[in-house]
Amino acid sequence: MRSSMSSCTVILPALNEENVIEKAVAAIFSAFERVNLDIVIVDDGSTDGTWEKIKKISKDNPLVKGIRFTRNFGKEGAIMAGLHEAAGDCVIVMDSDLQFPPKTAVEMFELWHTDGYMVVEGVKIRRQKESFIYKLGASAFYKFLRRFAGLDMNNTSDFKLLDREVVELLKKMPERQSFFRAITGWTGVRSAKIYFTVQPRIGGATKWSYFRLMKFAVSSITSFTTLPMQLVTFTGFGFMLFALIMSVQTLWMKASGKAVAGFTTVIVLLLIVGSILMISLGVIGVYIAKIYDEIKFRPRYIVSEISWDDGRKSKGIKPDKDFMDILAGRKSHRE
Ligand code: UDP
Ligand code: MG
């Protein structure tokens, strides 16, 4: 049982959510009526009126803080920024489109509060209105991760409660391309699952195209396993075996005096070997790109503005002044 004074910070990553953000904040506050709650909204480079809305909410309610990025850095970056600014004894990450029910967030809080879990994971019960291709892709993706990276991620979501200690742990992880959904499972802390139904969006539109989903899948798989790279070697061995059999057959044909009608075989082999080589190089390329991104040590996001300059203290986030100065032309790169 944790202290009755325990506080909680809700993190809301938001990209072009001007239609829903106010409703979401109101719904979350009313659901958490009896909890010491504050909210950090991270505007991940919205191009609509989201930031104006966030500033207004934050001005009217001192319990809401807003962080604005210079451009779209992706939901993972937004979550990371939120974790750096969160002050609560526990942190709940949810979407800002109310697809994750605030009621479930309260249940997460209660589980954490009474049973002392370090992480409470939201697991989706039923996926609404998802196409066949999406379902097929999602299931292949989760099976692969489970089989080869040992991560059980089926129907997991970015809807999670994290204890303060886990937040501190995540903040220290040097990885640039973090993978929020799995990283808490990877740390192996004591966790609980809570099931919830994904609600339809109350406004705005989803940001996930098929292309984006595919990029996300590749990035997640390569973050947690190097197996695709080893597959290249295995395929190589398979082909050696194939080549041996073919050689024996060819030699036998020659020895038995039959004409070598091997044109088809040559073409087919050439095509197969060629495509496998290309795919293999691609796989290695993905990993090298990943190493390249990691060693550049670029920041995961750049903050252009915060909504609180009225005496409220920052916990870790401030606008990147140097960068903003350069953008505004007040300072040259060469100084
Ligand atoms: N989001 C974000 N940055 C992005 C994409 C999405 O901050 O680059 C936020 C978005 O505003 C929403 C949440 O992440 O709060 C989930 O996005 P979305 O609703 O588009 O995903 P879906 O629910 O369709 O899976
Ligand atoms: Mg959504």
* pLDDT (tens digit per residue) in 255-291: 887 756 666 778 778 888 888 888 888 888 888 888 8
Handedness of CA 254, 258, 260, 264 (dihedral sign): negative
pTM: 0.81
Q: Per the structure block, which two tokens stand in for 234? A: 């295995």
Specify the residue with its C-alpha closest to ligand 1, atom 16: 95
What number does the ligand 1 atom closest to the CA of 97 have?
A: 15
CATH topology for 7-206+302-328 is Spore Coat Polysaccharide Biosynthesis Protein SpsA; Chain A (3.90.550)
Residue 205, pLDDT score? 85
Asked whether residue 335 carries a pLDDT value surpassing 80, the answer given is no
What number does the ligand 1 atom closest to the CA of 206 have?
A: 20
Across the range 77-90, mean pLDDT stands at 96
> pLDDT above 70 covers what percent of the chain?
94
Q: Which amino acid is at 150?
A: G
The CA-based dihedral angle spanning residues 195, 198, 202, 204, taken in that order and rounded to the nearest 10 degrees: 120
Distance 201 CA to ligand 2 centre (A): 6
Residues composing the chain:
335
Collect residues with CB below 5 Å from ion ligand 2: 95, 97, 99
Q: Is 255 exposed, middle or buried (0-12, 13-18, 19+ CB in 10 A)?
A: exposed
Answer for the pair 166, 118: CB distance below 8 angstroms, yes or no: yes
Residue 14 Cβ < 6 Å to ligand 1: yes
Residue 18 Cβ < 6 Å to ligand 1: no
The per-residue pLDDT for range 6-39, each reduced to its tens digit, is 999 999 999 999 999 999 999 999 999 989 999 9
Answer for the pair 217, 141: CB distance below 8 angstroms, yes or no: yes
Task: Please give the angle made by the CA atoms of 212, 318 and 33, to the nearest 5 degrees.
Answer: 80
Residue 43 Cβ < 6 Å to ligand 1: no
Distance 213 CA to ligand 1 centre (A): 12
Measured from the alpha carbon of residue 180, the closest ligand is 1
